[in-house]
Every structure is written in structure tokens, then in C-alpha cells.
Amino acid sequence: MVFATACETTATVTIDGHSDGSGVVSLLVEMDTQAVTQLGGTKTLLLDDVRKAGWVADEPVNNDDGSAEIAASKSYANSEELSLVLEELGGSVFSDTSSTVVSEFAKTEYAISTNVAVTGSLDEFSDAPLTELLGGLPLGRTPEEAAAAGLLDPGRGGLVVTVKVPGEQSESTETFDLTSGEPQSAEVAAVALDSNQTVWLMLAAGAVGLILGLVLILTGLRKRSRSGDEA
């Protein structure tokens, strides 16, 4: 994806789940001035290809300080589609992805999880078409050129993955250094339990009605008892 060729870049991937099991995967790429320069400007980005793949991609935002931001998003309908969208985004970086909505009596559990594993090298984000476009080299440079340009310095590329589900306290975030040279992995998961207030209100209303009915019955019985005693 686009953050594979930047010099100092942070890519934020957000999975925002909805109550019906669908959701949206959003990507925000933030590049500093040096990264934009190394890239040759944001005009070199092939966003048309991203859009053809079903992503909604905004035009890059070029800031006054020379930095830039690129945003894209893609909707998914279920757990299977979420896995495919993440595969488009990062290939084998994302695995064992699941999105579930389990409804039981008076409560619903929302859960989304994905395993994120990075090698600590930007090479893993350069798919075959991008490599070919860059002259047969994953980063468009030999290892020596990449090192001289600072592409391989720790902290030059960051990946932030956030998972959100409906409900309170339902967000989880993990951060990875894509240029650390060290493998990193973590499960990013969010789970929330939502009580069905409508069901509880109906139960409460039913309980109140039952109590009132019992009161009326008991009152009627007492009146009958008193009438019998007087007779």
C-alpha cells in the first residue's frame, strides 16, 4: 500500500464495527516532509488503482509544512469480507480475523479481533505490482540506497491498528514499528456487551402490571370477605 515507500510515515488502520456485524476499515497515512520528498510528491500516488479495488480514497492533503496525509476507507458486510479487506491492505500482516454479533436474551455481545504480525521491515508491505513499478526492488532502492536515505532507521515507519465495536469501553489499539528490524505481533481485539433496554423496560412494565393485578385481586377478595362477615 502507499506507506511502503515513505521515509517517515505513520499508517493508522481503524476497524469500526457496526451493530449488524458490518463496518468500515479506514486507513490514514501521515507523512512528514522528508517522506513526501523521498516519495517524489503525493502526485506519484496511484490512487485510481486503489479506487478500482473498491476503496473510497480522498485526494492527498498537502500541508503548509510539506507534510501530507492520505485517507482511504472500505466497507465490509461480515467477518469474511473484513478478512478480505485487511488482506488487501496488508497481506499476511493481518490473520485470524473475526467479527461477531451474538444476541441472547436481553443482551448482545459485539466482538472484533485480528492478529497483527510484522517483520520489522517495510519490504512486507510491497506487493508484486508495486515492486515491479519500482524497478524490481521492494522499496524502489537497493538495501544500501534505502539505508542511506534513512528508510531503514528504527521509527521511520509506524503502524497503528485500532478496533472499535458498539458499546462502552469498546476500543483497543496496538502500535508497531515497521522499521525496527525485529518481529512484532499482537492480537488487537475489542469486546462489548450491550443490554437490550427495550426488553428490560417491557419486563419491568409487565412486572408492574402483574403487581397491580395482584393488588386489585387481593382488594376484591378482602371486600368480598368483609361483605360476607357483615351478612
Summarize pLDDT for 78-105 with one digit per residue, the tens.
999 999 999 888 888 899 999 999 887 6
**Lookup result for grid cell 496511484:** 46
Could you tell me where the DSSP H helices lie in 79-196? 79-90, 128-133, 143-148
- Per-residue pLDDT of 51-66, as tens digits, reads 888 989 888 899 999 8
Q: Percentage of the chain with pLDDT > 90?
A: 29
The segment with the largest mean pLDDT, out of 22-26, 47-51, 118-122, is 22-26
CA angle 108, 191, 171 (to 5 degrees): 125
Burial of residue 59 (number of CB atoms within 10 Å: 0-12, 13-18, 19+): exposed
- Where do the structural domains in the chain lie, given as residue ranges? 2-195, 197-231
Determine the Cα–Cα distance for residues 185 and 200; give it in Å rounded to an integer.
41
pLDDT at 137 over 50: no
143-170 confidence digits (pLDDT tens): 566 666 665 666 667 889 999 998 776 8
The 8 Å CB, 24+ separation contacts for 78-82 are: 78/21, 78/22, 79/21, 82/15, 82/23, 82/25, 82/112
- Residue 193: pLDDT over 90: no
* Residues in the chain, total: 231
pLDDT at 177 over 80: yes
Q: Distance (Å, rounded) from C-alpha 8 to C-alpha 177?
A: 11
Beta strand pairing call for 9-17 and 157-164: parallel
Of the pLDDT bands very low, low, confident and very high (cuts 50, 70, 90), residue 6 is very low
* Residue 112 near residue 163, CB atoms below 8 Å: yes
Give the CA distances from residue 91 to residues 19, 86, 203, in Å, rounded to whole numbers and listed in that order. Answer: 27, 7, 48
**pLDDT mean over 25-54:** 81
More confidently predicted of 208 and 29: 29
Q: Phi, psi at residue 57, to the nearest 5°?
A: -115, 125
